[in-house]
Amino acid sequence: MQAKAREVYVPPVLQDLRAGTAELHIALEKRLPFFSEQLDANAFRRLMQAYYGFYRPLESALLASACIPADFDIAPRLKTPTLQRDLHALGESPEGLEHLPLCRQLPVIESSAACLGVLYVLEGATLGGQILRREIATRLSLDADNGAAFLDVYGAATGRRWRDFIEYLGARLMDVAERAAVVAAAQTTFSCFERWLESREVLA
Ligand code: HEM
């Protein structure tokens, strides 16, 4: 008897997230300048300043929301410290860092569902980072030691951390309304990020 191909179980919330954000991901990916001929060290620094201007207030909002599920450990997943280190390595002074513009139009985080939707986007972005890290290392000779650690923020643990997150998400009991709230927050996170990057004039 022929062995049946092993089917990978995709929890409903992840199916909804993928269906609900695929287009937003494609649209943003197309406009990000990581593969642009014009991307030099200076443009990369401006791009990372813009990332910082979004991640810092968004991670602060997550922490201040009191909506992070009690059994979810967010501390090792915070990426602002890595962005800060990168910007220092790229020549930003501590004073300069404190004066960088920060995004004020952020997703509303009023439930654990919204919190998980935001986290889905921030965690998923580490997967693409693996491709971007190689490009930036080749093109600009920047890596984890001299200004591009954010693109490899979880290093060799990237896949495992993503699987852990997905497992956590899939194991949570959620009704249809909660699943919809997770997806809505993920969509808003993508659109707020794109609008912010656009306003910082770092998109193609
Ligand atoms: C040029 C930039 C980017 C590239 C090339 C890229 C590429 C990728 C790739 C290859 C994957 C993995 C697909 C898979 O393994 O099935 C992925 C997943 C993902 N990316 Fe991106 N990405 C980029 C930017 C971003 C940004 C800026 C965000 C959000 C801020 C983001 C959010 C996500 C999410 C949430 C997933 C998980 C999708 C899933 O499997 O459920 N990506 N990306």
Residue range 93-109: mean pLDDT, rounded: 97
Q: CB neighbours (10 Å) of residue 158?
A: 17
Task: Place 8 in a pLDDT band, splitting at 50, 70 and 90.
Answer: confident
Q: What would the mean pLDDT of 157-182 be, rounded to a whole number?
A: 97
pLDDT of residue 4: 57
In a domain, 18, yes or no: no
Looking at the chain, the whole-number percentage of residues with pLDDT higher than 90 is 95
Domain assignment of residue 30, yes or no: no
Which residue owns the Cα nearest ligand 1 atom 23? 128
pLDDT value at 3 more than 60: no
The answer to the question of residue 13 being in a domain is no
Across the range 55-75, mean pLDDT stands at 97
In a domain, 2, yes or no: no
Residue 8 lies in a domain: no
CA 124 to ligand 1 centroid distance, Å? 6
The residue to which tokens 């930036």 are assigned: 136
The response to whether residue 120 sits with its C-beta less than 6 Å from ligand 1 reads yes
Where does the pLDDT of residue 1 fall: very low under 50, low under 70, confident under 90, or very high at 90 and above?
Answer: very low
- Using a pLDDT cut of 70, give the percent of the chain over it: 98
Mean pLDDT for 115-125 is 98
21 within domain boundaries: no
Residues present in the chain in total: 204
Decide if pLDDT at 158 tops 50: yes
The pLDDT score that the predictor gives to residue 7 is: 80
- Cβ of 125 less than 6 Å from ligand 1: yes
Closest alpha carbon to 50 in 34, 38, 37, 62: 34
Q: Is 151 inside a domain boundary? A: yes
Measure the CA–CA gap between 153 and 140, rounded to whole angstroms.
18
Structure tokens at 203: 């998109």
User: What is the domain-level CATH number for residue 144?
Assistant: 1.20.910.10
* Across 123-128, average pLDDT: 98
Give the total number of structural domains in the chain.
1
Residues 6+ apart with CB under 8 A from 194: 24, 27, 28, 31, 203
Please compute Rg for the chain using Cα positions.
18
Q: DSSP labels for 168-189? A: HHHHS---HHHHHHHHHHHHHH
Residue appearing with tokens 């995709």: 10
- The verdict on the CB of residue 15 being under 6 Å from ligand 1 is no
Whether 1 is in a domain gets the answer no
Range of the domain at 142: 39-199
